[in-house]
A and B are shown apart, each in its own frame.
Chain A
Amino acid sequence: MSLVWLPVGLVLPTIIGWLALRLIEGKVSVLFPVERFVLGGLIGLTATMFVTFILHLTLGVSFTLIGFGLVQVGMLALLYVWSRGMPMPARIRPSIPRTAMTRWATIFVGILAAWTSVKMIVLTVNLLVTPTVLDDTIDNWNLRGKLFYHNKELTLLLPFEEGNTSFSGISSYPPTVSMAKAYLSTLAGGWHDGLANSIHIAWFIALVLLLYWSLRRELPMLWALLGTYILTAMPLEMLHGTNPYAEVFVSVHVFAAVSYFFHALRADDKDRRIRFFRVSAAVTCLLPFTKNEGLIMHLPVLMLLVGSSLLWLLWKKKMSLREIVSVALWYIIPLLAVAIPWIAFKYMNGLSFGNAKSVSGLTLAWQPGVALAISVMTFMEGNWLFLFPLLLLLLLVHWRAILGSPLLVLLLYVAIIYLGQLFLFFFTELSIEARMQTGYNRGLIQLLPIIVLLTTLLLHRMRRLFQANI
């Protein structure tokens, strides 16, 4: 019964996020109705947790029903007042590619969809009725959530720890995931493992739907479904999506930020491009408050690519200087509003900036055994089916086409972060994360939706080769 508090708890954050997106889009609607609803829920929850965190630190708003409720009602009221003064966009359905699906293709995709649904449903039920046992969940995400719930306040210490912060480095993680669990438990009036874990399913479903609509914007329905299937067919992705780990939570934010940036570059007119940029900016500003990788790994690369792309658009005269400055401010101002308080909080409490392990004290030296471990995990285990050989093949065939298209930003984003991680594994003591198979695949989980988006778009191009006579 406690599970009913999941949809109840998501109502206000979703309305807040939905309203914010409506305002961000302004006069030109670029999101599909379902997509806006899903994205609204995603950013609404993260944003309300952030505002609660800030008001908790500054005004002492506690993690109680009144505390969480006041913040959400307040945010809703503000957005409502703001939206009253602004014209709402007309309901315009974004154009979508359409092609008739053959009977066999329909059957084939139907079977894959049914198979994927069975896996998702069965694994979800299992998550909700079995004990929580995974290491990072009982040592971090759920444990901290339970601490927040019982103490009604943010705490940086875990049980049995003394001093100011957790010696394990766990308190350096943004508290968003744990706060969301505490929020749902507060609504339910008690801590329930099933309820606390159910939020991960919501994030996974949001990821799957956002990938679908992202592909649907570019491709016919069959291909969009195929891409969605590819993501959910990845065994390790499915396992992460249906277990209480934070990688899918990070990846859905990263994917939204990067994919709307990609759609901005793909947009055929200026107004739509600016709206896509704004939507991307709205998600990007939340990246520092997802997980440490959001701040130190994903954000710098994304900002680098956004900045370069804006300059390129200016150079190509596709946008005016004024528009470029406007878009840049859309990225910068909300980002600073989130990043400055969070970084200040970290400095004030002496929290590290790495993924639990601080990156500041790393020494550089060649680490043996990493290459073998990485090649085994990428190609020879059951984690990714044949995704990476397929991607490499597609890159080989389409490299020329990628260079001259916005697909390049997807590729660069993945490549820069992936190579950056490889550098850390090959040359620092973080190599243990690769050799022990604990960190490498999780890094890929965060990038996987973007990799699948790129793969599906390239696969779609490949069909021309089948049709053409070589």
Chain B
Amino acid sequence: MSLIQRLLFTGLLFIPLTVSAKESTTWDFRNKMVPGDWSVMQTLTTEETEKGLHIKSSGESGRIYRQAALAHDADTAVLTFSDTLPQELRFSWRPSFAAADQFVEYPFVLTGFKETETVVIPLRIFKEWEGNANIIGLTFPGNVDVTLQDIQFHRYSLLEKFLAVVRSSLEFDNMRNYSINFLWGPLMVFTPDEIPGIFLGTPPRAWSVLRFAFPLLGLVSILCFIWWLKSYLQYKDYRKTGSKMLRVFAGVFVVLWLLFDLRMGLELLSYVKDDFQNYVLKPTGQKTFREFLSFHDVVAQSKHILMRQPRYVFLGPSDTLFSYLRYETYPSLPALTTEQTANTSILLVFKRPDVQVNERGTVIQNGKIIAYSGAVLARFDNESFLYQLR
């Protein structure tokens, strides 16, 4: 067989990979539709709405489920929810080998406060997932208030999976506070659905690319050794071969090193690109910084007022922001509640939908008045403002 014939033959082998493309099934709950025959446990109440199936419970756990009856195997399930609140749910399925009341459950969290929120379940990574299932559903561990928009099941071809591996290994993490302790490095997933959220889990549900790099180096070293051994056993110039094989191994190692360096270096530079795009080059009022959203922008605009008094009240979503304010406005210091400091007249509220000011200038938190009268000095968004008591 000539070289051209060999190449043609090899090329033919790849044809099935390219013709066998993605297959999808969608269960769409929008426009008051319910796809298929669903069972709902009594602890739950459901309502068909334009935005999807609205599911509620009052404290007790419950499950909705149906016969899977998928026409194809699935690699991922992609669930989309509308108008989300923070809560934990579980994707559930019953494998063919399980008893009638046994479900495998995959917990996931909705971060909440989004118009639509999508969750990707990488089904293939579970040994209990057989490509398909008898029953598929959702389990709700406790209080739940959620609108399920649709569930999609995707199956990808080998070529699509290969491309997903390549693309995902070039995906970069964002600079986060944990990055000073470790960098996940190049990760790979096997479906395009998983790529956008590849770094979201801790630890991520993905493989390190180094799982392939080390075996590759091992394989190269074994091949080099075999080559050297062959020349040794054949009484050829095995010394020269040994030196040559060392160079081959070193060459592969250097190439992998440089690729890894390039990949990680670009990730570090991408942190700077993000910071410049979102913070440094943005005008005041539009700046966001890493996972802190607009917090630093808000503080920069409020700092001169906050620092007029030794104490001010800060109502925010986390302690980390409190530590930051303590540092940023020192010697003026924040307090977490109005009770902590009697002499303050300044209140900074950041990303607190539960704290609102009414038309009379009264600040109300979950129905409780925390400041009777005053004025909003600056409003940054619907959930963030700077307020002065009268």
Contact = CB atoms under 8 A, between A and B. Distances in A.
Interface of A: 115, 118-119, 122-123, 125-126, 129-135, 138-139, 142-143, 146-147, 150, 159-160, 233, 235-236, 238-240, 243, 245, 376-377, 379-383, 385-386, 389-390, 437-438, 441-442, 465-470
Given A386-B253, A389-B214, A470-B246, A134 B265 contact: no
B56 interface: no
A185 B210 CA distance: 45
B41 interface: no
B330 A159 contact: yes
A379 B215 CA distance: 13
Given A236-B182, A469-B242, A470-B242, A159 B208 contact: no
B330 A238 contact: no
A139 B265 CA distance: 29
Interface string B264-283: 11011101100110011000
Contacts of B330: 143, 146-147, 150, 159
A130 B279 contact: yes
B250 A466 contact: yes
Interface of B: 177-186, 208, 210-211, 213-214, 217, 228, 238-240, 242-243, 246-247, 250, 253, 256-257, 260-261, 263-265, 267-269, 271-272, 275-276, 279-280, 289-290, 292, 296, 320, 323-324, 326-328, 330-331, 333
B12 to A, nearest CB: 37
Q: Is the interface of B mostly helix, strand, loop or mixed?
A: helix
A133 B177 contact: yes
Nearest to B239: A469
Given A383-B185, A385-B264, 19 more contacts: A115-B265, A122-B269, A123-B269, A131-B279, A134-B177, A134-B180, A135-B320, A139-B323, A139-B327, A150-B331, A235-B185, A238-B268, A379-B214, A381-B184, A386-B260, A390-B253, A442-B181, A466-B243, A469-B243
A311 B39 CA distance: 82
B323 A138 contact: yes
8 contacts: A123-B268, A131-B279, A133-B289, A133-B296, A150-B331, A383-B182, A389-B214, A442-B181
Nearest to B242: A470
A382 B178 CA distance: 13
Contact of A437 (B177, B178, B257, B269): B178
Contacts of A438: 181
B18 to A, nearest CB: 32
A207 B250 CA distance: 28
A134 to B, nearest CB: 5
A442 B181 CA distance: 7
Given A138-B327, A160-B333, A466-B247, A380 B208 contact: yes
A382 B184 contact: yes
Contacts of B260: 382, 385-386
Contacts of B268: 119, 123, 235, 238-239
Contacts of B246: 465-466, 470
A239 B275 contact: no
Contacts of A240: 180
Contacts of B272: 122-123, 125-126
Contact of A382 (B181, B267, B279, B320): B267
Pick the 4 closest A-B CB pairs, nearest first: A382-B185, A470-B242, A469-B239, A382-B183
A383 B180 contact: no
Contacts of A380: 185, 208, 210-211
Nearest to B258: A112
Given A115-B265, A382-B185, A382-B267, A135 B177 contact: yes
Contacts of B210: 379-380
B147 to A, nearest CB: 35
Contacts of B333: 159-160
Given A143-B330, A382-B267, A233 B184 contact: no
A442 B182 CA distance: 9
Contacts of B184: 381-382
Contacts of A238: 268
Contact of B183 (A119, A126, A160, A239): A239
Nearest to A137: B327
B239 A470 contact: yes
Contacts of A125: 272
B210 to A, nearest CB: 5
Contacts of A115: 261, 265
B13 to A, nearest CB: 32
A408 to B, nearest CB: 25
Contacts of B289: 130-131, 133
B320 to A, nearest CB: 7
A390 B330 CA distance: 47
B260 to A, nearest CB: 5
Nearest to A151: B331
A236 B208 CA distance: 17
A115 B276 CA distance: 20
A146 B183 contact: no
B327 A132 contact: yes
Nearest to A465: B246
B73 to A, nearest CB: 30
Contacts of A133: 177, 289-290, 292, 296, 324
Nearest to B291: A133
Contacts of B182: 236, 377, 381, 383, 437, 441
Contact of B264 (A139, A235, A467): A235
A162 to B, nearest CB: 14
A119 B327 contact: no
Contacts of B265: 115, 119, 233, 235
Nearest to A142: B327
Contacts of B214: 379, 389
B334 to A, nearest CB: 9
B156 to A, nearest CB: 25
Nearest to B259: A385
Contacts of B238: 470
Contacts of B242: 469-470
A243 B180 contact: yes
B377 to A, nearest CB: 22
B257 A385 contact: yes
B324 A138 contact: yes
B185 A236 contact: no
